[in-house]
Amino acid sequence: ELLYLKEYFEECQKGQNHQVVIIDLNLLASEILENITALLGRLILEFLQRVAKYDKDLRGKFPVVLVLEEAHNYIPEKTKGDNESVSKIVFERIAREGR
């Protein structure tokens, strides 16, 4: 796993292949949108943490900007049962640890 990451980042740095990835979740049902956004956010955070853990030199060399349009629609303050939503917990963690 580490070897693959190193090779990938070395190739990216050679050509400066910066990419923009847009994930359009517009067609997803609103019932699952909260869980999907939480999952995507968590996967991105854990990937970047894993990269930094295995090779300190790679830390910060894979910049990610996550833009969530209309976030209030799928990261609610509270759920119907007065509990915090899953997506709110995940994105608060990203805000704390993802810098």
Residue ranges covered by each domain of the chain: 2-97
Q: pTM for the whole thing?
A: 0.70
72 conformational bin, left if phi > 0, alpha if psi -120 to 50, beta if neither: alpha
Tens place of pLDDT per residue across the chain (99 aa): 555 666 766 766 665 656 777 888 888 888 888 889 999 989 988 888 887 887 777 777 777 888 888 888 878 776 676 677 888 888 888 888 866
Given a contact cutoff of 8 angstroms between Cβ atoms, the answer to whether 80 and 29 are in contact is no
pLDDT at 39: 92
Task: Give the pLDDT confidence score for residue 79 in this predicted structure.
Answer: 66
Measured distance CA(14)–CA(33) in Å, rounded: 37
**How far apart (Å, rounded) are the C-alpha atoms in residues 26 and 90?**
20
Tell me, what DSSP letter sits at residue 83?
A: P
